[in-house]
Amino acid sequence: MPKEMIPLPFKRHIHSGKISAEVFQRDKPSVKEEAALYVKRKALDNITDEFGSEVLENEDADVSLSNVTIRFSEEPMTHEEGFFKKKLIDSKKLIAEAEADILIED
């Protein structure tokens, strides 16, 4: 009778792509902190989408982000507001792009 194979724990390293978040800067004093949290959440959501069954079935799986780099850039925006669309409001769109190394330990 052959011995039963016991899988050894393994580590898998995944390099994520860019994740973009748009945050409107009006009335947002902590916009960069919010954007940083948002991109980290999106990264973890992407892992769950791609490897959901494997990660969720194994309660011992440890998902972590490392080497997180977040770059911010601003783009001017002009948009119209109001019923008659006569009032122009200038604001800035803050783009947060994040790259991270994602490690899943099963």
For the chain, the farthest-separated pair of C-alpha atoms sits apart, in whole angstroms, at 83
Regions of the chain short of the pLDDT cut 70 = 1-68, 70, 76-106
Residue 4 lies in a domain: no
Alpha-carbon distance of 45 to 16, in angstroms, equals 12
Residue 2 lies in a domain: no
- Find out whether 100 and 68 touch, Cβ atoms under 8 Å: yes
Which residues span the domain enclosing 90? 11-105
Instruction: Please tell me the predicted confidence (pLDDT) of residue 3.
Output: 46
100: closest CA among 30, 32, 42?
A: 42
pTM higher than 0.75 = no
pLDDT digits (tens, 9 = 90+) for 18-30: 444 455 554 455 6
- Find out whether 11 and 89 touch, Cβ atoms under 8 Å: no
Helix or strand or coil: residue 1?
coil
Domain count, the chain: 1
